[in-house]
Every structure is written in C-alpha cells, then in structure tokens.
Amino acid sequence: MNSLSERPLTAMIDLAGPPPDCAAYGNAGGWQGTRKALKTLTPDEVISMVTRSRLRGRGGAGFPTGLKWSTVPKDPASKRRKYLVANADEMEPGTFKDRILMEGNPLQLVEGMLLAGYAIQASHGIIFLRGEYFLAHQRLQHAIDEARHLGWLGENILGTGFSFDIDLHSSGGRYICGEATALLTALEGSRAVPRGKLPPSQISGLWGAPSVVNNVETLCNISHIVTHGPEWFDGLGTGADSGTKLYGVSGRVCRPGFWELPMGTPLRDLIEVHAGGMKSGYALRALLPGGASTPFVDAADIDIPMDYDSIKKVGGRLGTGMAILLDDRTCPVGMLRNLEHFFAQESCGWCTPCRDGLPWVERLLDALEDGTGTEDDIEQLMRHARILGSPGRTFCAHAPGAMAPLASGLALFRDDFTAHLTGHGCPLHHAA
C-alpha cells in the first residue's frame, strides 16, 4: 500500500516534518471532496455515500456512520442549531492513532468535519481535544486559522451559501470525557458525567440541539469517500468490514508502532510482519486487541482477522485496534492491577457500582500482588467482574470496559492468580 488511494489516512503524513499547509494539501488531492459535495451533491446524497461505503465508527463502538447521520433532523443549517463534534479526547491506554492523524495532517480532519457538517446541515463544528496533546493543538489551530483565511471555513463556502466553522476546545483532562455524552456535558461547562441514552444526542445533544459526535479517525475518512466513491472505500477492506484501519502494537516487539492496513488484516500479520515479532527471549502470551478496555485474546488465537465481528469469535473486541501485548515474562496479575488502578482513578463517581467497585477491585489486586491475598479475594474479583461487567448495571460503559480485561484475565490466567496465593505474592518478583 503506497499510493494515496491505498493509504488514504496516512499517505500525506511525514512524522519527521511539519504537516501540509492548504496549498500542499490541495495539490495532493485535498478539498476535492468539498468541491464535489458542496457544488454537486445534496446533504442526503453525502449521507447516502457514507452509508454505502459501510464506514463504521473508528472510536471503538463500530456504529455505522451513515446510519448515525441519518437520524439527525433534516432542517437546513440556516433554520436550526446543530453541532458536529470531533471526539479527540484520546485517553484509552495504549492508543495513539488520533494523535498521529491530527499532528501529521490536521487539514484532513478539518475537511472531514466540513463534509460531515454539510451532510447533517450543521453550521458549527467543535474539536474536543485531549488536554495533553499540545502539539496537536498547535497544528490544529494553525490549520483551522489558515482554512478560515482561505475561505474553506466560515461564511458562504465556495459561494454555495453553506456556512461552517470549527472551534478547538482542550479538555480539562479526564478519561470519562471520551464517553460521548460526558463529552457534551463537559463542553457545556458542567462536571463531565454521562447522560441518559434517550433521547440520543443526534436529537438532543449539546445545549439541547441535535449533535453528532464522531471519532477523529472516522471523520478523516470522509473526504476520501466523497472524492473516490463508496465502492472504492468498500473495496479497501479484505473481509466483512470496509476501508482501511490504523492498527498499532505496543509491548515487547521488535518494531512497536502503528500502520494503516486493510480492515480485516490478520492479527498474526500485524504482530509478526509489521511489528517484527516478539523480541528475542520473549514469547507472546496474550494481548488486549483494541486498547485497555478490551478483553484479552489468547496467543493461540492470533490468526483471527482484525475486524469488528471476527475478533468477537475469540472473545475479544476490536476497540481502537491498538493492541497491547502481554509477554511470558510479565505478570498478568500485575498488569491487571495497573489497568484497574487507571480505571478506578478515572471513574467519574456518578454511580455507586463504578465509584466504589473499581477501587475495591484495585485493593483486591494489590493484596494478591503484595502477598496478603486470599482465595476469597479471587472469588470477590470474579463477582465484581460479573456484576460490574454486565450492561445496564452502571450508568455508562466505563465499569464494563474496566471489567473486560479482568474477566478475561481471570479465565486465562487462573493459575497465575493461584500462584500469587501459594507463593505469597508475585512469583516473578520473588524470582527477581
């Protein structure tokens, strides 16, 4: 995959240099989708293109993008307030794909938002950016300012009568802000807690207005779909899902990093070909396939395609597509303790099971690690994984996401938990 049409998201990204300005972006094919959409297509036709492309949300849930857009009220932008929000609050441990896109080619996101705004007839876009992404903030703001100066944002774009502008908002810094409804609450200036799911934000979102929240990677695909057509995008995938995907690997591999590959690329290829395999002296034991809030997948199952439905067959979840690898010299109990510490401190505290349950899970894992754990502690962990991991028992998906690695880890690594009891602490620490 070398050409722009084969690597639509990353073809223009050079991490060693600055991102392209408006002129360079246009010379490489940028703004074609904007000209095409605003001058020759209706908003409904843009939504139809995205629907036929079968683009699914790249933030983790995998919801069909065109279907989400189609539920927005059809009023013209001039008749009703609507918002298009880019979720750039990338705080999922092990995940860094959106940062690369925003730092490497911020205009791709700007154009994607412009086209999405046109499709749903919103006049205002907001990028909700992770507060620690300082370089991304600088480059995004420069791109927005330049695009506005050259007429790609603002009033009466290309003389078509459509107006759209973008504001950049840096998050105050909480993992829960990545949950779409908590993000909207934070934008309104309130404490970042999730909302009820009904009515959906497409009907009543930011300040009560229809609002669409899309992930950065999702939006970066839009200009390419409009420019090249939905059939082209659909053909980039190798299996059940369409397009390309940014995949990543962290852990003890020879070449940790990220790659843009066809949707459905086998997990084995990602690890052994692109990441160069495990480092000498280490063997793969299991992995979290899509960030810290996805279930473990056993090393024996890595021939599975990395798409939304295939990964479920081995008990995993695609999530963000950024894999975290567990090797045979790292304690799985210690890894889980580290993950649950993160999830416990990032709970918004809105509902009791999450606020009180996650710190308790962390304390139980602490006890196993320091040698004071009991058999009952393991039973308590299993009970928490079952109760907190069941949908509908907590206000949002934070606690179920936190329980995904724990529940799968208790099943895969039960012998390691038992060894912590019989050895009065982590065997790897004692061996060291």
Q: Over the chain, what is the mean pLDDT?
A: 94
Tell me what pLDDT residue 2 has: 46
Would the pLDDT of 5 be above 80?
Answer: no
The residues spanned by each domain of the chain are 22-236, 244-327, 332-431
* DSSP annotation of 134: H
Query: pLDDT tens digits for 11-66?
Result: 889 888 899 999 999 999 999 999 999 999 999 999 999 999 999 999 988 899 99
**Spatial contact of 128 and 87, defined as CB atoms under 8 Å apart:** yes
For residue 279, the 8-state DSSP code is P
In whole angstroms, give the CA distance from residue 424 to residue 7: 51
Mean pLDDT for the stretch of residues 359-384: 95
pLDDT band at 431 (very low <50, low <70, confident <90, very high): low
CATH value of 22-236 in 3.40.50.11540, 3.40.50.1970, 3.40.1410.10, 2.20.28.90:
3.40.50.11540
Report whether pLDDT(397) > 70.
yes
Q: Tell me the fold of 332-431.
A: de novo design (two linked rop proteins) (1.20.1440)
- pLDDT score, position 55: 97
Are 322 and 94 within 8 A, CB to CB?
yes
User: What's the CA gap between 151 and 161, in Å, rounded?
Assistant: 12
Considering the entire predicted model, what is its pTM? 0.94
Nearest CA among 269, 261, 275, 312 for reference residue 290: 312
**C-alpha distance from residue 388 to each of 225, 316, 358, 367 (Å):** 39, 18, 9, 20
* pLDDT tens for each residue of 341-354: 999 999 998 899 89
Mean pLDDT of 164-188: 94
Out of 3.10.20.340, 3.10.20.600, 2.40.50.140, 3.40.50.10860, the CATH code matching 244-327 is: 3.10.20.600
Distance of CA 24 to the CA centre of its chain: 28
- Running DSSP on this structure, what letter comes out for residue 322? E
The owner of tokens 């069909």 is 64
Residue-wise pLDDT tens digits, 181-204: 999 999 999 999 998 878 999 999
